[in-house]
Every structure is written in structure tokens, then in C-alpha cells.
Amino acid sequence: MKALVTTIVEGLVDYPENVKVTETVGESIVILEISVAQEDIGKVIGKEGRIANAIRTVAKAAAAKQGKKITVEIMTQK
């Protein structure tokens, strides 16, 4: 799951080296936190969150195969 989201996000941004995805796996739930370079946040979220929602949908499809629920968050840097 982490690999999937990482490939997607790296394909969308200007600074793929700054892409970091952290995965927290629970019994029936997975949490993915994406952090990217400040300039790239807009590219990952998209207009009205269109791309962010597409990433969530694809991640959900992959997680459903393993019978898990998934949450995908895009982190803003402090």
C-alpha cells in the first residue's frame, strides 16, 4: 500500500526526493501520511481535492483486497 501511494505521489510532484510516506498498520486499519515539499502540496491535493480524493479511492481499492480500511492524510509542514 505504501509502495502504491509513493509511486503515485512521486509521479505528481516536482521534488520526488522530498516525498515521504509513513505507514501505520493496525489490525484492520492502515493510516498513510504523505508529506511533500511545500511547493508540491497543491499538486498532490489538486483542484477541490480532486487528486487527493483519487489517491484515497485507489488506496481504498488496494486495501479492500486485504480486507482493511485505509486513511490517507496529506500533512502540511509546520
Partner 1 sequence: MEDKNKKKFFSFFKRAEKNYDTSEDVKQREFALSKKQNEDTRTTEESEDQDSTKYSPEIVSFCQEKMQQMLEASGISGSKIIAKNKQGKMYLEITNEKETGRIIGKDGAHLHAFQTIINAMAYKKYAQPIRLEIDANDYKYRKLESLKSNALRSAKYAQLNKTKVELEPMNAAERREIHMLFQDDQEIKSFSVGEGRERHIVIDALNES
Q: Which DSSP string do the residues of 15-73 spell out, in sequence order?
A: -GGG-EEEEEE-SSEEEEEEE--GGGHHHHH-GGGHHHHHHHHHHHHHHHHTT-EEEEE
**Residue with Cβ nearer partner 1 (56 or 74):** 56
> Considering only residues 7-46, where is the footprint of partner 1 by CB under 8 A?
7-8, 11-13, 43, 46
Contact region for partner 1 (CB under 8 A) — 20-28, 30-38, 60-68, 69-77? 60-68
Contact 73, 24 (CB under 8 A): no
The residues binding partner 1 (CB under 8 A) are 3-4, 7-8, 11-13, 43, 46, 50-51, 53-58, 61-62, 64-66
